[in-house]
Amino acid sequence: MYGLVNKAIQDMVCSRFGENIWKEIKQKAEVEADIFISMEGYPDDTTHKLVKAASVVLGLSSSEIMQAFGEFWVQYTAQEGYGEMMDMSGDTLPEFLENLDNLHARVGISFPKLKPPSFECTEMEEDSLSLHYRSTREGLTPMIIGLVKGLGTRFDTEVEITQTQSRDDGAEHDEFFVNYKSN
Ligand code: 1DX
């Protein structure tokens, strides 16, 4: 994944727990890089090792860390150079979710090593939708819950999200039911 992802993990840990905890996590993860370059590609393994090490050092589950990271990602990217792109992608939670594939297509033009996931909304109602998440990657599903909650915060919308289908259980892709109410 692009370094932006690892840099976001670093900034989340440093802002909440400080530089020393981050150093400990990086050491435990056996990640050699001194700094992450946003626009450079890194092995997915680097990200997974960082999450695992953070889980041990902070005493939280990997799933909890990934959820927190998903929430963080929404505000992080909005303030780290991609705010305009986020602004263009919708004014409401459902609109933004429907535009995610377009957003990734746009990023992919400039960054061809992007392996964008796909998000599809079905059964769209006044206050709910089904969200289908398809990815070339495994193990990032808890992050999706955080991402959607982060979008809820961004759009001042109360969100409830529950997973209704899981690749872990043999389904073809992950599916979520999203209930929301804008304030
Ligand atoms: F609900 O399943 C809200 O590296 C959401 O594969 C979900 O393949 C917001 F310059 C610049 C760059 C860089 C901008 F090239 C990414 F570095 C992308 C900014 C999306 C904002 C996807 C990150 C692929 C890296 C799922 C989890 C990954 C999507 C991560 C969240 C808005 C982003 O993001 C999977 C890669 C951006 C960029 C957004 C993602 C890769 C998302 C969301 N994805 C790189």
- Mean pLDDT by runs of 10 across the 183 residues of the chain is 98 98 98 95 98 98 98 98 97 98 97 98 98 97 98 98 97 98 95
Question: Tell me, what's the pLDDT at 12?
Answer: 98
Write phi, then psi, for 126 (nearest 5 degrees). -55, -40
CB of 175 closer than 8 Å to CB of 130: yes
Calpha distance 116→19 (Å, rounded):
31
Is there an atom of ligand 1 within 6 Å of 107 CB? yes
- Is the backbone of residue 59 left (phi > 0), alpha (psi -120 to 50) or beta? left
pTM of the complete model: 0.98
Question: Tell me, what's the pLDDT at 28?
Answer: 98
CB of 25 closer than 8 Å to CB of 66: no
Residue 176 C-alpha to ligand 1 middle, in angstroms?
Answer: 19
Nearest to 151 by CA among 80, 101, 84, 77: 77
Give counts: helices (H), strands (E), the chain: 7, 4
Question: Tell me, what's the pLDDT at 40?
Answer: 97
Calpha distance 155→175 (Å, rounded):
22
Question: Tell me, what's the pLDDT at 120?
Answer: 98
Residue 116 C-alpha to ligand 1 middle, in angstroms?
Answer: 7
DSSP 177: E
**Domain positions in the chain:** 3-60, 90-182
Number of the ligand 1 atom closest to the C-alpha atom of 133: 2
Pocket test residue of 85, 104, 109 for ligand 1, highest count of atoms within 8 A of CB: 104
Task: Tell me the CATH number for domain 90-182.
Answer: 3.90.1520.10
Per-residue pLDDT of 59-90, as tens digits, reads 999 999 999 999 999 999 999 999 999 999 99
Calpha distance 28→47 (Å, rounded):
13
Question: Tell me, what's the pLDDT at 102?
Answer: 98
Residue 148 one-letter amino acid:
V
Number of the ligand 1 atom closest to the C-alpha atom of 4: 17
Is there an atom of ligand 1 within 6 Å of 1 CB? yes
Is there an atom of ligand 1 within 6 Å of 4 CB? yes
